[in-house]
Structure formats: C-alpha cells, structure tokens
C-alpha cells in the first residue's frame, strides 16, 4: 500500500515537472544575477582622474561600481554631511571637532601638488620662476604686467612680455584653493591679512573656472594668463608650469620627487589632519597637499561605509602604480597601516 502511495505521489510530481518538460523548462525565467553594489562619491577635482581609473579597474575585477563626480571639495563635504553621498573627496582636511560633529571618518589616499600654470607666448614649461610673494601679489592685483620689475628680478635673461597678466582661479569651493591660499598666507603677509585661506575666498583679482578642469581649459585658451591646477592636469594637458622657490630658497619643479620630499617630514595624527605647504627640505615642492576621503562611521551607514572601505582597501593594495602613472604620490606603507587600524576600530569591522 505504501509503495502504491509513493508511486502515485511520484507520478503526480512527474505530471507537474515532467509531462510537458520542454515547455516548462523553456518558459522558466533565468536565475537572477546577483546585484553589484553601487558606491557614490563626489567632491575634490584634484584626485578625480585617479579615482576614475581606480573605479574602472576595481569594477573589472568584480568589485562594486564606484561613481565619483568632480564637484569641488566644498560641495563634496556638504553632500556627505547631508548623507547624499556615500563618501566625499576633499583636499581640505577637517579637524577633530568638525569630524565629530558630523560623525565622519577621514583618511588620506594620495599626495599631489598644486601647480601655477601659465600661457605666455615664447615661454616654455619650467622657464618662468616665481615665489610666494610675487604669486600673492599677482592675485592681489598688485602686479599687473608680466614684465613688472618684481617678476623680472626672479627671471634674469627671460624675455617677459609687456602684457597684462590675466589671473585665473577657482569659481567653486575647492580644496585646491584651500591648499593654494594656505601657501599664499604663509609666504605673503598682505595676502594673509587681506584674504587669508579657505576653500572659497574673496578674490581681489581674476576670473573663475569651475574645477581643475575648468581652470586648465581657461588658461589654455587665454593668452598671458596664469592659474593653479593639480599636477595630473598639468601632465594631461601638457601645460606650461612655473618653478617655485621653496622654504629652503631653491627653485624646484613639480613632480613625484618634490612631492615626496615635502611629505617626508609629515607627522600624521589620529584624524590624519595634515597640511603640507611650505615644508622644509631642499627638494620640497612648496604647494604640496594630501587629498582625503570623508565618510560616515559604519555604525550609522553600515552597508555604504563597508562597500566604500573595501574599495579604498583595494586601492591601497593595488592602486599605487596607477597613482604614480598619473603624477600622484602613493601614501607610505606606515600611513596605510595607520589608516587600516582606524578602519578596524569601527563597529562591524
């Protein structure tokens, strides 16, 4: 009897899944593919070329899709504080009070340099020499022509045109502006007193471009202009850059060696607040800065924070060669170890 019941049950199952086997299997939906996590970031244009490359390589390896938008540091900070971004990029580090107020983590990703760039006929890359006093006076509107005696004194033998200087600066809130104005405040007393430092300042002179890309494009089109951009934009656009006199009195060129020299004496604290302008050292580039990531602590946004940290952990492990190829300096191994300790201390790690 039991065998008969089992047989009947088996026949019923076969009737459901076997009698019209071809039709039922052909019509069955394909198994759903697992959803790939999406991570949204935005902010500083300084590291945007690097984050785009990292994101593409990470996705090719099966990682989350990371979308980073070049918005400017100030916009990135506002949006991550409001919770509309999973992480923000900022070239201006936040202090301990600011981080605690908004429940944010902060850590550096790479080091780079802000570079004065010019568009002056007959003057090639690295031929023009400037210092912080002269650069500040140009942006104060005090020096208005390229053949001004103050500029000529730094450039004996260089044919400077009798042409009006066209200063270009950032129109948006910018970490690059913070680094640049921090440097000017250290090297030009009038600039410090009248303007000071910040992601946005009350510029006495000049026209604005949005993002590093906007400033680069503006300078590229406008004869006799001067602007400031992150070094990777100098390389990508083959821009004419100026040498700068550093704290040791040496005229140096921007590049990985001069950025590394500026970062060599950095003392990274627990919140990683660090400004690297006007560092001592014969080879140090005077407008060097780290770029930072800001994101919510895992306790408050666990999934988004975990996905973002996995991406940056991958970048620390696999992204140094890409960073170097674009003109950025990877963080030293000791600093990466400090950052990973910070990550490990978060809830859920």
pLDDT at residue 12 above 50?
A: no
User: Can you tell me the distance from the alpha carbon of 228 to that of 230, in angstroms, rounded to the nearest whole number?
Assistant: 7
| 3-state DSSP assignment of residue 7 | helix
Q: Beta-carbon neighbour count of residue 201 at 10 Å? A: 21
267 pLDDT band, cuts 50/70/90, is confident
Percent of the chain residues past pLDDT 90, beyond the cut: 76
CA angle 38, 41, 46 (to 5 degrees): 140
Question: Is the pLDDT at 18 greater than 60, yes or no?
Answer: no
Hey, how many other C-beta atoms are within 10 angstroms of the C-beta on 232? 23
Domains 39-111+289-344 and 113-263 agree in fold: yes
Mean pLDDT across the chain, nearest whole number? 88
Q: What is the DSSP letter of 314?
A: H
Output the pLDDT for position 36. 64
- The mean pLDDT value for 182-200 works out to 97
Query: Is 138 a residue whose pLDDT tops 70?
Result: yes
Length of the chain: 349
- Identify the pLDDT of residue 58: 97
Helices of type H across 188-319: 189-194, 211-221, 231-237, 256-263, 302-318
Kindly list the domain boundaries of the chain, sorted by start residue.
39-111+289-344, 113-263
113-263: CATH superfamily: Periplasmic binding protein-like II (3.40.190.10)
Q: Is 270:342 a contact under the CB 8 Å cutoff?
A: yes
Tokens read off for 130:
């400037």
**Per residue in 170-190, pLDDT tens?**
999 899 999 999 999 999 999
Rounded mean pLDDT of 47-54?
96
Predicted confidence (pLDDT) per residue in 60-82, tens digit:
999 999 999 999 999 999 999 99
Residue 29: predicted pLDDT: 54
Give the chain's radius of gyration (CA, Å).
27
CA–CA separation, 177 vs 277, rounded Å? 12
pLDDT at 9 over 60: no
What would the CATH number be for the domain defined by 39-111+289-344? 3.40.190.10
The model's confidence at residue 300, banded by pLDDT at 50, 70 and 90, is low
Predicted confidence (pLDDT) at residue 86 exceeds the cutoff of 80: yes
Residue 259 pLDDT level (bands cut at 50, 70, 90): very high
């Amino acid at each position: 009897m039991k065998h008969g019941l089992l047989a009947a049950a088996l026949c019923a199952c076969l009737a459901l899944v076997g009698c019209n086997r071809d039709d039922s299997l052909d019509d069955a939906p394909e198994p759903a593919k697992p959803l790939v996590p999406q991570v949204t970031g935005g902010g500083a244009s300084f590291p945007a070329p690097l984050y785009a490359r990292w994101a593409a390589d990470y996705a090719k390896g099966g990682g989350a899709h990371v979308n980073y938008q070049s918005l400017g540091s100030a916009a990135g900070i506002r949006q991550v504080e409001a919770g509309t971004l999973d992480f923000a990029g900022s070239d201006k580090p936040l202090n301990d009070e600011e981080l605690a107020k908004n429940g944010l983590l902060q850590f550096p990703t790479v080091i780079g340099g802000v570079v004065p760039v010019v568009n002056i006929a007959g003057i090639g890359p690295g031929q023009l020499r400037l210092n912080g006093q002269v650069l500040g006076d140009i942006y104060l509107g005090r020096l208005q022509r390229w053949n001004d005696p103050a500029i000529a004194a730094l450039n004996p033998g260089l044919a400077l045109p009798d042409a009006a200087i066209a200063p270009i600066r950032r129109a948006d809130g910018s970490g690059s502006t913070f680094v640049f104005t921090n440097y000017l405040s250290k090297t030009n007393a009038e600039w410090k007193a009248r303007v000071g430092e910040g992601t946005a300042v009350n510029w006495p002179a000049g026209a604005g471009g949005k993002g590093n890309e906007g400033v680069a494009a503006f300078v590229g089109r406008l004869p006799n202009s001067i602007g400031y951009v992150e070094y990777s934009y100098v390389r990508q656009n083959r821009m004419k850059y100026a040498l700068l006199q550093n704290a040791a009195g040496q005229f140096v060129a921007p590049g990985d060696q001069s950025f590394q020299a500026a970062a060599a004496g950095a003392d990274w604290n627990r919140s990683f607040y660090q400004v690297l302008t006007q560092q001592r050292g014969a080879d140090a580039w005077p407008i060097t800065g780290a770029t930072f990531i800001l994101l919510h602590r895992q306790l408050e946004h666990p999934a988004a924070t975990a996905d973002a940290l996995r991406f940056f952990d991958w970048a620390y492990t696999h992204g140094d060669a890409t960073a170097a190829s674009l003109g950025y300096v990877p963080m030293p191994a000791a600093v990466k170890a400090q950052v990973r300790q910070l990550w490990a201390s978060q809830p859920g790690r």
